[in-house]
Amino acid sequence: MDETLKKEWFAMAPSSRERTESLPDPKFLTIAEVASMMRVSKMTVYRLVHDGTIPAHRVGRSFRLTEEDVNAYLQKSFYDAG
């Protein structure tokens, strides 16, 4: 890569500080925390994750779910029973 082109490219790219300041840190929850929050079993949460109903991230051998994704699932699953 040409040296001047490389300098121009790096000048356009946002710095790591700009990237981290613009994005809020997501809060990650374990399967057990989500199950407790929803008052269901851990197996129910695992089923929702494996079905793709709630997106999850694999960390080693365990799953982590963002609080935002769990809240979005709960919001769309509410309905008026009356």
> CB under 8 Å, gap of 24 or more: what pairs does 21-27 form?
26/66, 26/67, 26/68, 27/66, 27/67, 27/68
Read off the pLDDT of residues 20-76 as tens digits, 9 standing for 90 and up: 566 678 899 999 999 999 999 999 999 999 999 999 999 999 999 999 999 999 999
Domain extent listing, the chain: 25-82
The domain made up of 25-82 has a fold known as Multidrug-efflux Transporter Regulator; Chain: A; Domain 2 (1.10.1660)
Length of the chain: 82
pTM of the full structure: 0.67
Query: Alpha carbon of 72 to those of 40, 54, 68: distances in Å?
Result: 17, 9, 6
Q: Please write the tens of the pLDDT for every residue from 9-25.
A: 666 666 655 665 666 78
